[in-house]
């Protein structure tokens, strides 16, 4: 059996971190078997290296090795890609096609981002893992395959199972052996080593001198969080190699390539807010809206009762609880609001009878309209836009004695539009 260091050199794995070495060691130990393996770790940590090690050190190394990015294949075609399809199985299926499980028979399939698989595909995959059987899309014939499956994901599988996004039985079938790769921020001793390797590779690729970091820049590099892990570090090294004229990189220059350099506090990974939290928030919101509706209805009833009875003091005495509910306790800062409300109620009580407005026709007309409107509140309000529009146009024309120009100005429309509406409603 080859040593860990020899395997890392063979597959281009850089670093001496203990967790990294343990992950490589587990890959070496599990490779000769046919056990399913689940590789876990954040995006960009290099999970794709582990399946290659497992395949090359297994008895399947001379057969096919196929890497499938499950997150990059549309949901409608993922079953066809993995298991194949018969001619005419769906629109565009002009010929029979072999899927990856048929092509890789005897070899290894690496399912990257396996957590993105649709639930229907997960059921098919579970059957392959249990007895090696699968059925092509559009076929009824059961086929057999002998494939070693290595899967990888950056998702929190426990959360995905809890939210019914991943089957628990499939998870246990895939993770017979689980290999976890550490994030780059937990491998500080390897960060500068990786940067130097990337800088050297890009210098050779672009035929230019290798960029180097000052001591302070190295410290900045080591203390950065690296949310994108090795992939992000590689991108930074490539940008510096291509864009910088000065091949010695200072901290100020490096800072320009590190986003959120001032905010290296631990970040929350994933969505920690459960669906039950959203459900409870919706229930609270609905309750608040219903309470507001009830308060508004109570206020309407109070106003109507005042208009009918005409005695503001009696109404205040009989509805003290409701008034305090809406405006607060009388001895609080809301006392002024209650006084204002009672003043409005007193004025409203004076419009009980239209005769009290005097003999001025205009005054009687204006206030009588208000009184009539108050009486109509009790009636069920129509929701027809046509009726409302017709009512407003009639009222405006009556108020301005049929003068269309004044009525149009009050309604906020052009005189031409008003003329068209008059013809439309046959006024």
Q: Which domain holds residue 223?
A: 188-255
Residues 224 and 298 in one domain: no
| Whether pLDDT at 187 is above 60 | yes
Whether residue 377 lies inside any domain: the answer is no
369 within domain boundaries: no
Residue 50 has pLDDT above 50, yes or no: yes
pLDDT tens, 386-418? 777 778 888 888 888 888 888 888 877 887 787
Task: Give me the pLDDT at residue 411, please.
Answer: 78
Distance CA 252, CA 91 (A): 57
Give the pLDDT band (50/70/90) at residue 306.
Answer: low
Percentage of the residues of the chain whose pLDDT score is greater than 70: 74
Where is pLDDT greater, at 355 or 165? 165
Mean pLDDT (whole number) for 353-357: 44
- Do 199 and 156 have their domain in common? no
Within its chain, how far is the Cα of 106 from the centroid? 40
What CATH number is associated with residue 12? 3.40.50.300
Is the model more confident about 308 or about 132? Answer: 132
Residues whose CB falls within 8 Å of the CB of residue 419, separated by 6 or more in sequence, listed in order: 404
Q: Report which of residues 280 and 195 the model is more confident about.
A: 195
Region 38-61: mean pLDDT is: 96
Q: What pLDDT is recorded for position 301?
A: 72
Averaged pLDDT for residues 16-28: 96
The answer, yes or no, to whether residue 158 has pLDDT greater than 90, is yes
Do both 131 and 218 map to the same domain? no
Lowest mean pLDDT among 115-129, 247-261, 303-317: 303-317
Q: Are residues 47 and 178 in the same domain?
A: yes
DSSP-assigned letter for residue 137: B
User: Is 149 found in the same domain as 34?
Assistant: yes
Where among 161, 182, 203 does a domain terminate?
Answer: 182
One domain for residues 148 and 245: no
For residue 361, what is the enclosing H or E element? helix 361-376
pLDDT for 336 equals 53
Residues 318 and 281 in one domain: yes
Cβ neighbours of 91 (radius 10 Å): 6
Instruction: Count structural domains, the chain.
Output: 4
Residue 268 lies in a domain: no
User: pTM score > 0.75 for this model?
Assistant: no
The predicted pLDDT at position 290 comes to 72
Say if 355 falls within a structural domain: no
Residues 32 and 142 in one domain: yes
What tens digit of pLDDT does each residue of 309-341 get?
655 566 566 666 666 655 555 544 445 555 555
Give residue 207's region: left, alpha or beta (phi > 0; psi -120 to 50).
left
Indicate if the pLDDT at residue 264 is higher than 90: no
Within a domain: 23: yes
357 neighbors 363 (Cβ within 8 angstroms): yes
Contact 191, 182 (CB under 8 A): no
Q: Are residues 88 and 58 in the same domain?
A: yes
C-alpha 137/C-alpha 158 separation (Å) is 30
Backbone phi and psi for residue 280, each to the nearest 5 degrees, phi listed first: -65, -35
What is the model's pLDDT at position 222?
Answer: 94
Confidence of residue 190 (pLDDT cuts 50, 70, 90): very high
Q: What is the DSSP letter of 209?
A: P
Question: Is pLDDT above 90 for 279?
Answer: no
pLDDT at 276 over 50: yes
Q: Is residue 46 located within the same domain as residue 66? A: yes
User: Of 115 and 400, which is predicted with more confidence?
Assistant: 115
Length of the chain, please?
427
242 with 117, same domain? no
Please tell me the distance from the alpha carbon of residue 63 to that of residue 56, in angstroms, as a whole number. Answer: 10
Q: Last residue of some domain: 182, 205, 237?
A: 182
- In this structure, are 236 and 324 located in the same domain? no
Helix (H) or strand (E) holding 174: helix 168-174
The answer to whether residue 356 is domain-embedded is no
DSSP, res 249: E
In a domain, 72, yes or no: yes
Task: Tell me whether residue 142 is in a domain.
Answer: yes
Mean pLDDT over 205-210 rounds to 94
Tell me the CATH number at 406. Answer: 1.10.10.60
């Amino acid at each position: 059996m080859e040593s860990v260091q020899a395997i890392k050199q063979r597959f281009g794995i850089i670093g001496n971190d203990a967790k990294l070495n343990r992950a490589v060691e587990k890959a070496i130990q599990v490779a000769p078997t046919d056990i399913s393996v689940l590789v876990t770790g954040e995006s960009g940590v290099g999970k794709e290296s582990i399946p290659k090690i497992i395949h090359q050190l297994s008895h399947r190394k001379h057969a096919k090795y196929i890497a499938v990015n499950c997150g990059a294949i549309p949901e409608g075609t993922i079953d066809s890609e993995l298991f194949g399809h018969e001619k005419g199985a769906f629109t565009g299926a002009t010929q029979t096609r072999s899927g990856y499980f048929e092509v890789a028979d005897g070899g290894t399939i690496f399912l990257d981002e396996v957590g993105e698989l649709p639930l229907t595909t997960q059921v098919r995959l579970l059957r392959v893992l249990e007895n090696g059987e699968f059925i092509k899309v559009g076929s009824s014939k059961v086929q057999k395959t002998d494939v070693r499956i290595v899967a990888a994901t950056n998702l929190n599988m426990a959360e995905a199972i809890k939210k019914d996004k991943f089957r628990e039985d499939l998870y246990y079938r895939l993770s017979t052996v689980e290999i976890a790769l550490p994030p780059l921020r937990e491998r500080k001793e390897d960060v500068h080593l990786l940067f130097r390797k990337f800088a050297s590779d890009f210098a050779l690729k672009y035929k230019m001198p290798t960029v180097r970091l000052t001591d302070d820049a190295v410290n900045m590099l080591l203390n950065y969080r690296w949310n994108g892990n090795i992939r992000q570090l590689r991108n930074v090294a490539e940008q510096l190699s291509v864009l910088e004229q000065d091949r010695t990189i200072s901290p100020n220059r490096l800072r320009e390539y590190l986003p959120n350099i001032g905010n290296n506090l631990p970040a929350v990974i994933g969505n920690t807010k459960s669906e039950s939290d959203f459900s409870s928030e919706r229930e609270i919101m609905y309750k608040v809206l219903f309470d507001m509706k009830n308060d508004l209805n109570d206020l309407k009833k109070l106003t109507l009762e005042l208009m009918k009875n005409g005695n503001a003091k009696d109404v205040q005495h009989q509805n003290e609880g409701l008034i305090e509910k809406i405006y607060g306790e009388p001895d609080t800062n809301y006392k002024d609001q209650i006084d204002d409300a009672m003043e409005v109620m007193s004025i409203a009580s004076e419009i009980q009878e239209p005769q009290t407005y005097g003999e001025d026709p205009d005054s009687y007309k204006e206030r009588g309209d208000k009184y009539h409107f108050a009486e109509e509140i009790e009636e069920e309000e129509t929701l027809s836009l046509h009726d409302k529009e017709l009512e407003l146009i009639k009222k405006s024309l009556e108020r301005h004695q049929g003068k269309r120009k004044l009525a149009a100005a009050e309604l906020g429309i052009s005189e031409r539009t008003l003329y068209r509406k008059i013809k439309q409603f046959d006024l």
